[in-house]
Structure 1
Amino acid sequence: MGRKLTSILIQNICRRKFQSTARRALFHTEPELKNLSLDADSDLAALLEKKLNIEVPTQTGTGASIYRVPDRLRAVEPKAYEPNIVSIGPYHHGAYRLQAMAKTKWDFFRRIFHSTNPNRPNLKQVVDQVKQMEHEARGCYSEELKISSLNFNKIMLIDSCFIIELLKETKELDFRKKSSHIKRWMLPVLQRDLIMLENQIPLFVINKVYELIRCKQESGNLVDLALQFFESMMYKDLDNPKKMDLVVKRDGEISHFLALFRASISPSEALQNKFPVKEPNMFRSVTDLKESGVKVKKAENCQPLDVSFKKGVLKIAPVSMDDYKFTLFRNMVAYEQSHFACKPYVTAYIFFLDRLINAANDIELLHYAGVMQHTLGGNKHAATLVNNLCKEVAGAVDDSYLHNVLWKINCYCNDGWNQKMAKLKYEYFYNVWVSLSTFAAIVLIYLTILQTVAALGDDEARAHIVGNGFWMAIVEAFFVPVKGVSTTTSSSNKDSSSMSADDKFSIDGEQESMDDIGTRIDRFICWFLITSSKEHDELLMIIF
């Protein structure tokens, strides 16, 4: 009885200790519940009900397009998502490492609104327009911005003016002018910073400010200036940059610079799927495709993401890989991973590159095909960097614009005839010397068969070859071990007796000259094979 009471007492102590620990853990993980009163008999449902009553739901805009990069993507390459010299928008505003460009921002702002400017716009009118767009601009950010209305509007206005003046100044930038605020080393860094997902402000804000502050003499629009500014990041290998009117028509309203640039490089309309299509599996590298008979070539007159496959030829738009290009790809992928209103074109493209590239040899083959150039050191390191682009990224399996291309590649590579022809070409005709060796071996075998068939019989057999044809005689020669050689002695003797001595001498002379020619050909072929490279010697050993 005493043991039973002791056991019950221990169980009660353990239960109370567990409840106390759970309450402390709950308070530690959820600070907002600390104000709630708990006792030993508190009910979980009542506790959660109190939490629901005191917690105000966060109001987030449904039209958000500027996101924080997911932590799993940031962990792979943090520097790809953090601006280097300039902050745009509220996410990185006030960062200590970005304060150096604050003076340049203010210089650009003063250039526009200073009293010495003869075309000075109305500052109050511009500020009023920015205030009217505040609510809509805040809705473009995925997170609730804990920033005052005054500071938010100040960021929108000063950053918009900085971007506008930057685009205008770099349009016809002459680095020989000492008055330029933009140094030579700044231009690629600014391009990289202004394309980052977290370093954006709504495009409609910039466009409105541009309309209010530009001079009447200025022609063109903001979109053209922006595309010209970012053109060198992707279009330097192509012949025909896309016209922006087609981009706007296809993708509708563009929310910021990153979305604008992504829309400008989207694949051609012929490659786009109107409805989501599941992507087939394709795990063949460039080396595997070459062994299967697929030729890789550089596409011409195409968009940066265009890929096509027709009659065993895979055409890929040329691309140059460097640190800035990887930053661009990572931010576009982060945007597609967060913004479900856009199709995952870039995501599907980098997964396609990841399948093609498994080793340094794949990079080399793409380089010789004119498809890929890089400034990333060795080919092995370049292959590793390309493969890292897909780390922690959700694939575009259910909605890939490369569905038809991958399906055609699989059909071609799985065809037995294509595999055999590719193996024959890869093993016996992969360079000039091996091709000559193969051709010489075929000629040698041909002459050997000719000599063997001609030697199977006497003059009647040779006459039979002349009468029935060489190839028929070869077919009959294979049946000699089974049927034997049928000879007609009488007809042979008759034909021999009917010949004159001159005819016999003529036949014997022709036979001897043919034998001499065959011997010379055999000696020449043997000499050619023996004096060739090691590959020819191995082939000669196989033949004999």
Structure 2
Amino acid sequence: MSGIADTDSVPIQRKDWIIDVSQVIREPAQWPECCIYRVPKKLRKVNQDAYTPKLISIGPLHHGSKELSDMENLKVRYFKLYCDRALKGEEDGASTAKAEEKEVQLQKRLARIVSENREKIHNCYAERPPLKDGEFVRMILVDATFIIELFLRAFGDAEDGSDYILSKNWLTQGIKQDLILLENQLPFFILEEIHKTFSKLHVIKEKTDFLTLAGSYLIPRSSYDEIKSGLKEVKHLTDLLRYLFILPLKRNVAGGGGDHPKIPNNTSNNPDKAGLNEESPSSILPNSASKKLDETGLNEASPSSNLPNSASKKPDEASRNADPSAFCNLPSASNLDGAGVEFRKVKGGLFDIEFKKSMCMEWIPCLTCSWLLACLPCLKRTYLKSMEPCLEVPRFSVNNSTETVFRNLMALEQCHYPIEHTYICAYIVLLDHLIDTEKDVDLLVRKKIILNHLGSNDAVAIMINRLCEEIGDVSPYYSDLSEKLIKHYENFWNHAMATLKSAYFANIWRGTATVVGLIVLGFTLWGFIRPYVSHERGGGKSKRANADSFT
């Protein structure tokens, strides 16, 4: 008791019992600026290399990494090149001392822009960067000017063909892949702010906003000449890449609205110049993102022609009315093929997957003309083509960068977007159900839906299946499509007609043999029953003759 009394007698200061939570509790998810995350451990452990930069660090999350230190001098060199570019816009003829003074003043102006936005930049990261203010400002400044200078040079503004990065294809592709990693990002607004402030000083062929530069860098040989104002900016380069995929969906469904700038349809008539050449296996983007922009659904003249049935209503409405378990029983591609579904490659955006089946076939499955079209391919240009169930899928190009690109896009959706907007995840989950084994990939490659640059079809199947590991709930954007495919697959007659086609009408030779066999069988049966028919007819005539003679 005395101990307690002694303790009670000691005066307690306010500072002794106040708990300082300012350094402990931080809720970045409540801040609208928060958009750059460290990939969750459960996703990272599936394939750590897909989320880790190999050549260059951008931003604070990988700053100071020894494996990436070799590129720090290159970033500083590009910072100097950017300053020289800006100073070229000013009057020439100044002395060396004045030129150096102007360069110092320019660097101070650049640093001031970053310093004034330091807290806003901090709020963009889910983790508080463990850097002092001066070091943080310097890091952001060097990384930002490196990206801007690189984009300007890639846009065609390099003074000669000896640029250190652009002259080396392996380095160009490696840095491009590092720049789309979720953990390797700078806030888009600071890049735009710096570029906007100094764009009037740039000696470039065309005055180009930063969104155009970034879009042209991610999709080479593209042209975006007009960006409509009044819309929110993209968060960072990973977010911009995601919207280059889902832009047709957003513009068609939302009528051109959404949270991000709209990229208008203003591309060359040459498909190869409108995006990545689909014959290039080293492209950072899958082929579906490299088509002509007017072929990916950006043409506002047809606001709904490029969307699957589930996109005929707004995504939020479709999500509320959809069955979240629709994917569970979705058959694989080979099983659907066994149920008579024809797979067809079509031009379009990433999400333009549609199942077409005429209404009369819903009631009378035996009316399918798949068997006839298999025997006589020349009839596929007639109306009979609409008499076979068909799953239309845009081409999906698979290369060494595909897994990295989609893993980071999916990680962004899992960390930042609500479930109803996880369109990339929904697309990959759909592919995961369609592709179970190498047999499914063989079918899709044969139908020219998958363009495989990995070499092994089994490797493609493994990659697609692993992409969905540790992925949570996704948007039920394809729920209507899944329900239609499941309904078709569970119909007995569809399997029966598919078996008939594969067994007797797989090609023109087997179909011809089947038809000839049926004709021979018909004549054989007729030859067998003809004597009895003739006897019956002869007996009837004799009876009538006897009756007539009797009368």
Give the TM-score taking structure 1 as reference length.
0.70
Q: In structure 1, give the amino acid aligned to 2:346.
A: A
After superposition, give the CA deviation of every residue in 1:135-163 in whole Å (9 maximum; x if it has no partner). 11100100122211111111211111100
Q: In structure 2, give the amino acid aligned to 1:487.
A: G
The alignment partner of 1:164 has SS state of: helix
Match of residue 244, structure 2, among 260, 264, 268: 264
Identify which range, 259-268 or 208-217, moves more after superposition.
208-217
Q: CA deviation at 1:179?
A: 4.4
The match for 2:52 is: 82
Q: CA deviation at 1:228?
A: 1.5
The match for 2:323 is: 278
The match for 2:77 is: 107
The match for 2:209 is: 221
Judged with a 3 Å threshold, the aligned counterparts in structure 2 of structure 1 residues 248 and 359 are, in CA distance, closer, same or farther, namely: farther
The match for 1:440 is: 516
2:335 counterpart of 1:295: no
2:161 counterpart of 1:177: yes
Q: CA deviation at 1:180?
A: 4.1
The alignment partner of 2:315 has SS state of: coil
5 Å-filtered alignment, 1:527-542, equals none
The match for 2:140 is: 156
Q: In structure 2, give the amino acid aligned to 1:287.
A: S
Matches of 1:196 and 1:326 in 2, distance apart? 12
Judged with a 3 Å threshold, the aligned counterparts in structure 2 of structure 1 residues 155 and 385 are, in CA distance, closer, same or farther, namely: same
The alignment partner of 1:142 has SS state of: coil
Matches of 2:224 and 2:497 in 1, distance apart? 40
The match for 1:254 is: 234
Q: CA deviation at 1:225?
A: 1.4
Contact 2:342-2:390 within 8 A present in 1 as well: yes
Contact 2:188-2:233 within 8 A present in 1 as well: no
Judged with a 3 Å threshold, the aligned counterparts in structure 2 of structure 1 residues 492 and 391 are, in CA distance, closer, same or farther, namely: farther
Matches of 1:171 and 1:410 in 2, distance apart? 47
Contact 1:460-1:492 within 8 A present in 2 as well: no
The match for 2:188 is: 203
Matches of 2:214 and 2:86 in 1, distance apart? 28
Matches of 2:337 and 2:227 in 1, distance apart? 39
Match of residue 305, structure 1, among 351, 372, 391: 351
Matches of 2:229 and 2:427 in 1, distance apart? 19
The match for 1:317 is: 394
5 Å-filtered alignment, 1:464-483, equals none
Matches of 1:168 and 1:155 in 2, distance apart? 20
Match of residue 37, structure 2, among 42, 67, 70: 67
Match of residue 350, structure 1, among 421, 428, 432: 428
CA RMSD of aligned residues (A): 3.1
After superposition, give the CA deviation of every residue in 1:324-344 in whole Å (9 maximum; x if it has no partner). 111000001111111134711
After superposition, give the CA deviation of every residue in 1:355-413 in whole Å (9 maximum; x if it has no partner). 111111211111121111122232112211211111111131xx321122112212222
Matches of 2:184 and 2:545 in 1, distance apart? 101
Judged with a 3 Å threshold, the aligned counterparts in structure 2 of structure 1 residues 495 and 287 are, in CA distance, closer, same or farther, namely: farther
2:476 counterpart of 1:400: yes
The match for 1:423 is: 499
The match for 2:276 is: none
Q: CA deviation at 1:176?
A: 8.4
Q: In structure 2, give the amino acid aligned to 1:299.
A: V
Matches of 1:110 and 1:409 in 2, distance apart? 58
Matches of 1:99 and 1:74 in 2, distance apart? 23
Q: CA deviation at 1:184?
A: 1.7
Judged with a 3 Å threshold, the aligned counterparts in structure 2 of structure 1 residues 410 and 245 are, in CA distance, closer, same or farther, namely: farther
Matches of 1:404 and 1:148 in 2, distance apart? 52
How many residues end up aligned between the 2 structures? Answer: 414
The match for 1:532 is: none
Contact 2:331-2:489 within 8 A present in 1 as well: no
Match of residue 531, structure 2, among 437, 449, 455: 455
After superposition, give the CA deviation of every residue in 1:453-487 in whole Å (9 maximum; x if it has no partner). 3211446627xxxxxxxxxxxxxxxxxxxxxxx63
Q: Which has the higher contact order (CA 8 A, sep 6+)?
A: 2
Structure 1 gaps, min length 5:
1-49, 463-485, 497-544
Q: In structure 1, give the amino acid aligned to 2:187.
A: P
Match of residue 489, structure 2, among 391, 407, 413: 413
Judged with a 3 Å threshold, the aligned counterparts in structure 2 of structure 1 residues 74 and 175 are, in CA distance, closer, same or farther, namely: farther
Q: In structure 2, give the amino acid aligned to 1:490.
A: K
Contact 2:58-2:185 within 8 A present in 1 as well: yes
The match for 2:386 is: none
Matches of 2:323 and 2:224 in 1, distance apart? 28
Judged with a 3 Å threshold, the aligned counterparts in structure 2 of structure 1 residues 405 and 51 are, in CA distance, closer, same or farther, namely: farther
Contact 2:330-2:482 within 8 A present in 1 as well: no
Matches of 2:223 and 2:514 in 1, distance apart? 47
2:356 counterpart of 1:390: no
Q: In structure 2, give the amino acid aligned to 1:60.
A: E
The match for 2:171 is: 186
Matches of 2:45 and 2:146 in 1, distance apart? 31
Match of residue 53, structure 1, among 16, 19, 22: 19
The match for 1:123 is: 107
Structure 2 gaps, min length 5:
1-15, 91-102, 254-306, 358-388
Percent identity of paired positions between Structure 1 and Structure 2: 27
Q: CA deviation at 1:92?
A: 0.5
Q: In structure 2, give the amino acid aligned to 1:324.
A: S
The match for 1:370 is: 448
Q: CA deviation at 1:246?
A: 8.4
Matches of 1:405 and 1:282 in 2, distance apart? 12
Contact 1:126-1:212 within 8 A present in 2 as well: no
The match for 2:258 is: none
After superposition, give the CA deviation of every residue in 1:21-67 in whole Å (9 maximum; x if it has no partner). xxxxxxxxxxxxxxxxxxxxxxxxxxxxx999365432333231100
The alignment partner of 2:175 has SS state of: helix
The match for 1:360 is: 438
The alignment partner of 2:45 has SS state of: helix
The match for 1:477 is: none
Q: CA deviation at 1:177?
A: 2.4
Matches of 2:224 and 2:87 in 1, distance apart? 36
